[in-house]
Amino acid sequence: MIFFNGTLFFSWYSFLQTNTRLTQISELSRELKAKLVAKESELDSSTEELRSLRQEHVTTRSDAEGMLRVMSTLESQLTEYATREESTMSIAREAKEKVEQAMLERDQAVVSCCC
């Protein structure tokens, strides 16, 4: 039965509007729930990646600190070896000068004896 009097028509129209609005809200709710699930998944993924990157950072930092210690040790050794080399070269130079001086004195002695 269809009556077009004001009350019945208004009630039916109000019901359709409410039903349409309820359908829209239900659809919006489903969309928002799907977005929420996607964002939670993205958050989980980002959290895992952050944990991995933090661990990598700790490992890299530890490796870098170890390399700095090694480089410092090598630098100390290099300085020590350079000092030793300089000392050895100085001793060799002094020994060469003594040998040259001794040879000069010998040559002078030979010349003075023979003349």
Q: What is the DSSP letter of 2?
A: -
CA torsion through residues 29, 35, 39, 42, sign: positive
pLDDT band at 14 (very low <50, low <70, confident <90, very high): confident
Mean pLDDT of 9-37: 84
* pLDDT > 70: percent of the chain: 87
Query: Higher confidence at residue 96 or residue 16?
Result: 96
* Structure confidence by residue, pLDDT tens digits, 70-100: 999 999 999 999 999 999 999 999 999 999 9
pLDDT band at 1 (very low <50, low <70, confident <90, very high): very low
User: Whole-number mean pLDDT of the chain?
Assistant: 89
Whole-angstrom Cα distance, residue 19 to residue 83? Answer: 94
The three-state secondary structure class of 68 is helix
pLDDT reported for residue 13: 64
- Is the entire prediction scored with pTM above 0.85? no
Whole-angstrom Cα distance, residue 101 to residue 93? Answer: 12
pLDDT reported for residue 102: 93
